[in-house]
Structure 1
Amino acid sequence: MSYVNRIQPDGTPTWIDLRVPDRERALEFYGALFGWEYDKEAAETGLGTVCLLRGRPVAAIAQAPAATGAGWTMYFATADCDGTAKRITDAGGSLLKAPTDVGEQGRTAIAEDPVGARFGLWEGRAHLGCEVVNEPGSLVRNDLVTADPEPARAFYTAVFDYTLDLNETLPDFDFTFLRRPDGHEIGGIFGFPNAPRSVWATTFEVADTDAVVRHAIAAGATADAPEDSPYGRIATITDPFGVEFSVITRAAS
């Protein structure tokens, strides 16, 4: 079991939340898909409705006006939200929401990188972030998909001191791993010329990709056909609100 019981090192994807115009429908959809239960009282803390797997936080879902756009947001861990926010603007990014406290839970900011991808910062206090990862029903990875990867690579290495590592497993793709200074891989940047926009893609682990896709479609989503990759069987799903995410059943190691 992949439990997280401490604040993650800077630059680690540590939290995700979903903003939708119909929270109750989203709770029903994702709860059925991933087996989540909900701590609705947590909404009073400013986090939104916290999604629980075996009683531990894995994500949050919040009501948002339709005009703001629905979508998943990934948050990088930081020990200094204000300092990292300054590094973001110094490196050519912009702040959509300046650093602000979320009660006693932590301090957060929302930013946009130079290629237009949105992400958040999370300086954890009472709320660590995702406390279950890398197993069915939880976050397994985030990758930036963009038609303009070079400015993105320069930006994220400047902000989080990542190193870059080419992906030799997929030599036909423009994919670069991002690694923390300690060498830990946190995700990657995928240069895709036909990407309609730059986005941090969210991928959840599941026990059976095909079964999850069938369930999602029956619940009002659309999905690409599952495909096998060197890393496992993967599919992209678009939820009933038009929000894309991926699911993967990882290959046995």
Structure 2
Amino acid sequence: MPKPDLTVGSPCWIDLLTSNPEKSKEFYNALFGWTYETGDQQKYGGYVTASKDEAMVAGIMKNDGTSGSPDTWTTYLRVDDIDAAAKAAAEHGGQVYLPPMEVPEQGKMAMFGDASGAAIGIWEFGGHTGYQLAAENGAPAWHELFTRDFAPAVKFYQDVFGWETAVVGDTDEFRYTTLGESDNAKAGIMDASSFLPEGAPASWHVYFAVDNADAVIEKTLALGGALIQPAEDTPFGRNAALTDPTGAEFWITQDIGQGS
């Protein structure tokens, strides 16, 4: 399979913060066929790398509760100068939740809050150059921000990460902008003001490609996960929202006409 096109500014990595890494590993192994490698405890805190067909697709790390964050999936955007990105984020209405830090031999990471309050991970390449498989069964396929503050959020990603955006929809019913255009789009920003529950913060969502959405939903439920949004056919695939057994939300997307 061709290596994903992880250009500067685009999503390049995902990882799962989980209160029960062993349970999460078992779940995603059964659901997607992932295999795992655990990093050095002293150097990397036991960070787990997940692979699909021997290609790295995600990370898993322990949620020890100290951050106050629920179990969650995080999308990371690639930058070529993480310190400059942190400065730009602060200057354009964002916050630096976790300042740039070096991950020995791998690269540099940070965590920002965007102008709408959504958390987004940041990664500067070193030895680790992002996921090696995308838009294939069991691998990340799409990244999407749900926000009530649509215009400020779009401007933040344009100003801080140099996004060249395309408007997909601009009505009250469907307001949506993408990084890149049509088949070359790499992420999306959705005006979620009409459907986000009261008090729910802006947030990024990870979609995984699947061959058969309905079968994956059935298997998720059998493995102790839950269905948040039933499968729905859209112009962009058959999509559904689920949670894994510890409550971390993820989405799935199936090409229409694939599977049965």
TM above 0.5, yes or no, is: yes
2:39 alignment partner, SS class: helix
| 8 Å CA contact 1:18, 1:62 repeated in 2 | yes
**TM-score by structure 1 length?**
0.91
| 8 Å CA contact 1:147, 1:191 repeated in 2 | yes
Structure 2: stretches of 5+ with no match in the other structure: none
Report the Cα distance in structure 2 between the residues aligned to 1:122 and 1:9, rounded to whole angstroms.
Answer: 12
- Pick from 34, 42, 48 the counterpart of residue 36 of structure 1: 34
Report the Cα distance in structure 2 between the residues aligned to 1:119 and 1:57, rounded to whole angstroms.
Answer: 20
Report the Cα distance in structure 1 between the residues aligned to 2:42 and 2:54, rounded to whole angstroms.
Answer: 18
Report the Cα distance in structure 2 between the residues aligned to 1:28 and 1:117, rounded to whole angstroms.
Answer: 29
1:12 offset after TM fit, Å? 1.0
Report the Cα distance in structure 1 between the residues aligned to 2:232 and 2:177, rounded to whole angstroms.
Answer: 21
How many correspondences in the alignment? Answer: 249
| 8 Å CA contact 1:42, 1:50 repeated in 2 | no
Say whether 1:57 aligns with 2:62: no
1:93 is aligned to 94
**Structure 1 residue runs of 4 or more that deviate by more than 6 Å after TM superposition:** none
Report the Cα distance in structure 1 between the residues aligned to 2:42 and 2:171, rounded to whole angstroms.
Answer: 45
Q: What's the Cα RMSD here?
A: 2.2
- Pick from 207, 212, 230 the counterpart of residue 211 of structure 2: 207
| 8 Å CA contact 2:170, 2:176 repeated in 1 | no
Report the Cα distance in structure 2 between the residues aligned to 1:166 and 1:113, rounded to whole angstroms.
Answer: 20
Say whether 1:19 aligns with 2:20: no
- Pick from 237, 244, 250 the counterpart of residue 239 of structure 1: 244
Report the Cα distance in structure 1 between the residues aligned to 2:33 and 2:75, rounded to whole angstroms.
Answer: 21
1:239 offset after TM fit, Å? 1.5
Summarize the Cα distance change of 1:115–1:102 in structure 2 as closer, same or farther, 3 Å threshold: same
Summarize the Cα distance change of 1:26–1:170 in structure 2 as closer, same or farther, 3 Å threshold: farther
1:42 offset after TM fit, Å? 5.8
1:76 is aligned to 77
Q: How does 1:152-167 map to 2 (within 5 A)?
A: 152-167=153-168
| 8 Å CA contact 1:43, 1:49 repeated in 2 | no
Structure 1: stretches of 5+ with no match in the other structure: none
| 8 Å CA contact 1:106, 1:124 repeated in 2 | yes
